[in-house]
Amino acid sequence: MTMLSIKNLHASVEDKEILKGIDLEVKAGEVHAIMGPNGAGKSTLSSIIAGNENYEVTEGEIILDGEDISELAPEERAHKGIFLSFQYPVEIPGVSVTNFIKTAINEGRKAKGLEEMPANEMLKKIREKSELLEMDKKFLSRSLNEGFSGGEKKRNEIFQMAMLEPKVAILDETDSGLDIDALRIVANGVNKLKSPENAVVVITHYQRLLDYIVPDFVHVLMDGKIVKSGTKELALELEEKGYDWIKNELV
Amino acid sequence: MSKYTEEHLKEELASKEYEYGFYTDIESDTFPAGLNEEIVRAISKKKNEPEWMTEWRLKAFRVWSEMTEPEWANVHYEKPDFQSVSYYSAPKKKDKYQSLDEVDPELLETFKKLGISIDEQKQLAGVAVDIVMDSVSVATTFKKTLAEKGIIFCSISEAIQNHPELVKKYLGTVVPKTDNFYAALNSAVFSDGSFCYIPKGVRCPMELSTYFRINQGGTGQFERTLVIADEGSYVSYLEGCTAPMRDENQLHAAVVELIALEDAEIKYSTVQNWYPGNKEGKGGVYNFVTKRGLCEKNAKISWTQVETGSAVTWKYPSCILKGDNSVGEFYSIAVTNNFQQADTGTKMIHLGKNTKSTIISKGISAGKSQNSYRGLVQISSRAENARNFSQCDSLLMGNECGAHTFPYIESKNSTAQIEHEATTSKIGEDQVFYCNQRGIPTEKAIALIVNGFSREVLNKLPMEFAVEAQKLLEISLEGSVG
């Protein structure tokens, strides 16, 4: 079943076209990797799927689970199951990790007409998911992302993903700023959260992360277009030959 | 869907109507407008005050007549015409009620709208409420429990009648009648307020609470509060207020005096929500308040305030750290929106040895408002080893508001340690988007960010007050997302 379908997506920022017609089909249970050189439009794509209004969608559709979400507010997309693990998660001083995720979960429930999650259930879930990501208890009471190391920030992103249980998780450069141990923990978390009911889109510059989160499909994004798609072997090939190889092939 | 910009944010913020904007029609007994010695005498007579009190008021009036309004604050407003204000207004029923059944049902309805129905308050274990409606105290609860401990908690009028020796001894000792323009005015015409005395060594078993409201059109409100914590005693006092919406500007000039004798501790918490005026900047309360506490040896005074209302605020809860080892604290959240102006802060006067003070001020400005922190830390020559820590943080929303910090430090003792930290930040679109992406709508996201910013101060409030304060912050800064 198709989970996320992107059709002929064009987008620009301040009249500069960044995405020039993206097509992507992601089925439930699949992991897709989007790779590409700097400035290819990888982060723009993830921001647009999440509904960041700094970009203008000029053409095309984003369909989640059969429903066009391209006109929805970012929070509505989140409620419907889109999750973005940010490349640079923001700090919110004075708001604890626990309080933040509690608010996020309850706002999602409110949108679905459900009561707030009972405190004991919330607590149990927080405990379970934080263990999955090998998080220290003290970490949960700290202000969101304030003074966090790169690894802690990314681990916290995946913790939130675990708590929110999205249909489609987009991991934007989740490997950047991570040492090898943190990378292993984060990847391990993502792998445990994978199921036949959800899908993961990994956006990365390097193939390193793909040793841990093994993709079913790899797409190469260059100059606002997907120029090549393949299986995980494509990532290895890119690692070996660099992006120029594809550029040359295209010419 | 349209792009969410700061323009939208500003619109939302501007469209928040005053939640408690209603007006109760209760027959009042109101004096004609204007102020002269006769009016002062009449107020005193109306309240059946002894001669010494009348004289005290008259002295204050004479001083006030010679004074001019201060202009140093960073606020701009049309000065009130003090001769067009009525200086006394009391609900007509004069007799004290024996039970709630006797209270004017309309008044009870008003309290219900404010969410402070006396019924609920009565049941709320640990909270005694002395409600000041306009100028006269109409209901006092929990008196018996307090009386058993020797605690006196009543209106200041009653205290003048029943405990003249305490009032005579302490009234005007921390804020002299000549202190400033508004304090002098208050001393001359104060209508009512609260009085509290905690005997030696007694720990007050409940939070004492007063709700103030302005109700009668065109009446000024001049509250007078006097809290005395005798040696080794402790009291936590809560003051909260909401005012109904009025078109003309209303003047509020309160005086609060706290006296903490040796080893005593007073915690004074305020949630202030006077009508701030509409989004064009019309109407709203002028709040010119003098609050000051005196600490004797080893005593401690904590001021915590959440200021969300008033068109113009001029307020500096201060501590005179007279005794050795005494401690003064000031925790403040001041929110301004639309055309509100606030100039608020504290004075920490270190006189004794080893005195300590802490100042945490959080200013939040939105709309076209101006929010100023003004604070003085003064170390006298004999205040050996005095210490102060000040932290002033400002949060801005939009591009049309202002945040200002005016810290004054005067140290005459080289052993003093004074630290001052200040930050200014802005709610970023990226913070809001991050919250949105997690399913948190913009309104809620702003509330979350603001609450986080204010956390250190909210944590200082007693539990039941913290919840109310948090709600108020949301009310003050949010509107329906359009």
Query: What DSSP element (H or E) covers B144?
Result: helix B143-148
pLDDT tens string B118-133: 544 443 333 455 555 5
**Residue in B3, B428, B434 nearest the CB of A89:** B434
- Chain B: nearest CA to A234, how far in angstroms? 31
CB contact under 8 Å between B449 and A74, yes or no, is: no
Lowest-confidence pick of A75-79, B74-78, B330-334, B416-420: B74-78
Task: List the pLDDT tens digit at each of the 251 positions of chain A.
Answer: 899 999 999 999 888 999 999 999 999 999 999 999 888 899 999 999 999 988 999 999 999 999 999 999 999 999 999 999 999 999 999 999 999 999 999 999 999 999 999 989 999 999 999 998 888 888 899 999 999 988 899 999 999 999 999 999 999 988 887 888 888 988 999 999 999 999 999 999 888 889 899 999 999 999 999 999 999 999 888 888 888 888 777 76
**Residue in A71, A104, A144 nearest the CB of B439:** A104
Query: Coil, strand or helix: which one is B53?
Result: helix
Q: Who's near B444: CB < 8 A, 6+ residues apart?
A: A103, A107, B435
CB contact under 8 Å between A90 and B430, yes or no, is: yes
CB contact under 8 Å between A100 and B3, yes or no, is: no
Lowest-confidence pick of B58-67, B182-191, B468-477: B468-477
**Residue in B1, B431, B444 nearest the CB of A72:** B1
Q: Are B131 and B153 in contact (CB under 8 A)?
A: no
Q: Who's near A251: CB < 8 A, 6+ residues apart?
A: none
Q: Does B70 touch chain A (CB under 8 A)?
A: no
pLDDT band at B227 (very low <50, low <70, confident <90, very high): very high
CB contact under 8 Å between A75 and B430, yes or no, is: no
Q: How many CB pairs under 8 A join A and B?
A: 86
pLDDT at residue number B28: 56
Identify the closest residue of chain B to A142 by CA–CA distance. Answer: B452
CB contact under 8 Å between B439 and A111, yes or no, is: yes
Q: Does B3 touch chain A (CB under 8 A)?
A: yes
C-alpha A27: how far from its chain's center?
15
Cα–Cα distance between A57 and A53 in angstroms, integer? Answer: 9
Cα–Cα distance between B101 and B98 in angstroms, integer? Answer: 8
Q: Using H for helix, E for strand and C for coil, what is the string for B293-351? A: EEECCCCEEEEEEEECCCCEEEECCEEEECCCCCEEEEEEEEEECCCCEEEEEEEEEEC
- CB contacts of B434 in chain A (<8 Å) are 86, 89-90, 92
- CB contacts of B4 in chain A (<8 Å) are 53
Structure tokens given for B70: 């201060």
pLDDT at residue number B214: 45
Lowest-confidence pick of A107-111, B228-232, B454-458: B454-458
pLDDT band at B162 (very low <50, low <70, confident <90, very high): very high
Query: Coil, strand or helix: which one is B90?
Result: strand
- CB contacts of A50 in chain B (<8 Å) are 437
CB contact under 8 Å between A92 and B441, yes or no, is: no
Task: Provide DSSP, B12-46.
Answer: HHHT---TT-------EEEPPB--SHHHHHHHHHH
Q: Are A209 and A2 in contact (CB under 8 A)?
A: no
**H helical segments located in B67-104:** none
One-letter amino acid for residue B356 of the chain: K
From the number of C-beta atoms within 10 Å of its C-beta (0-12, 13-18, 19+), residue A112 rates as exposed
Query: Coil, strand or helix: which one is B282?
Result: coil
